[in-house]
Amino acid sequence: MSNKLTLGLLQLPVGGDVAGNVRQAVDSITQLKAENPQLQLAILPESFNGPYAIEHFGRHAERVPEGRTCQALSQLARKLGIYIIGGSIIERDDQNKLYNTCTVWAPDGQLIGRHRKLHLFCVNIEPEQLGGCQFDEGVALTAGNELTLVQIGAHKVGIGICHDKRFEELARLYRNQGCSMLVYPSAFCICQGPMHWELLQRARATDNQLFVITCAPARNNMSGYVAYGHSMIVDPWARVQREAGEGRELIVETIDFDMVDEVRRQIPIYKQRRLDVYERAGADV
């Protein structure tokens, strides 16, 4: 049995028309599948159906799974017979709280995962440093409180959203629960991108010896919040296997999960951990 997975990253531009953004996503995934019949998984960016801006969050929020964006992804997954990691959308719950939420859809159209962003993005970088950036999702959004593991074929996959990848503890928990791949839809800001985008993904990959996948929106330098782009696949050796540029780009890549076993066998760090020392020091291991 093949231990490979063919996935697509859809680095798409995001405009102010929610219906247009969703239609673009549906058409792009359909195109990708038609051109690559072997495609098994499509991954969309964070906030793919509406602008990533606090003033817009409430305007394009919807219910999960009955909202129009969710229904479009469900129908598309069933029509094409593929998994879809639906980037993220703004979810409105029954108490009118808003969440930054990633939905995951199986080839039969069923919702198999809903990840509410655990770590809300909060940054206040001074203008004289890196051009400056101020943003606080907590002004409008509520943080999630659960890990999200999904089964993609034979493999466990951990889901995070953008800022979640800064937190090594989350990645470690996913690794300890058997994940061989982490996926982070990410609208990473341009002021941090050159320093930390690749660094964080390679760090999570080498610490946990697994694949790390990110999918970003295409860069729009005229928007209020400028995303970095550079959607990326990092392998368990912490090598960048594929990287997008700044603009609209559709990437198809096959990853081989045998590499996870290979790295963990050749560099057996988890068998070498000194749990006795860590526990005496009070570490939660």
Single pTM value for the model: 0.95
234 is written with which tokens?
A: 């990092």
pLDDT value, residue 146 = 97
Over residues 164-211, the pLDDT tens digits come to 999 999 999 999 999 999 999 999 988 888 999 999 999 999 999 999
- How far apart, in whole angstroms, are the C-alpha atoms of residue 12 and residue 85? 14
Considering the candidates 70, 91, 117, 215, report the single residue annotated as catalytic. Answer: 117
Residue 127 has pLDDT above 70, yes or no: no
pLDDT value, residue 13 = 96
Find, among 277, 268, 250, 126, the residue nearest to 209 by Cα: 268
pLDDT value, residue 131 = 59
pLDDT value, residue 192 = 86
- How far apart, in whole angstroms, are the C-alpha atoms of residue 185 and residue 115? 11
162 classed as catalytic: yes
* Ramachandran angles phi, psi of 98, nearest 5°: -110, 140
% of the chain at pLDDT higher than 70: 96
Sign of CA dihedral 193, 199, 201, 202: positive
Sign of CA dihedral 87, 92, 97, 98: positive
191 classed as catalytic: no
Over residues 14-70, the pLDDT tens digits come to 999 999 999 999 999 999 999 999 999 999 999 999 999 888 999 999 999 999 999
- How far apart, in whole angstroms, are the C-alpha atoms of residue 18 and residue 218? 16
118 is written with which tokens?
A: 């655990």
Residue 222 has pLDDT above 80, yes or no: no
Residue 224 has pLDDT above 80, yes or no: no
Assess whether the previous peptide bond of 236 is cis (omega < 30° from 0).
no
> Greater confidence, 126 or 256?
256
Instruction: Please report, for residues 41, 59, 68, 196, 211, the alpha-carbon distance to residue 49 in angstroms, rounded to integers and kept in the order given.
Output: 19, 11, 11, 25, 26
CB-CB contact of 233 with 242 (8 Å): yes
Residue 144 has pLDDT above 60, yes or no: yes
pLDDT value, residue 246 = 97
14 is written with which tokens?
A: 């995001």
In 36-120, which ranges are continuous DSSP H helix? 54-57, 68-80
Q: Tell me the domains of the chain and their CATH numbers.
A: 4-280 (3.60.110.10)
DSSP-derived 3-state class of residue 157? strand
Considering the candidates 102, 162, 179, 189, report the single residue annotated as catalytic. Answer: 162
156 classed as catalytic: no
> Greater confidence, 271 or 181?
181
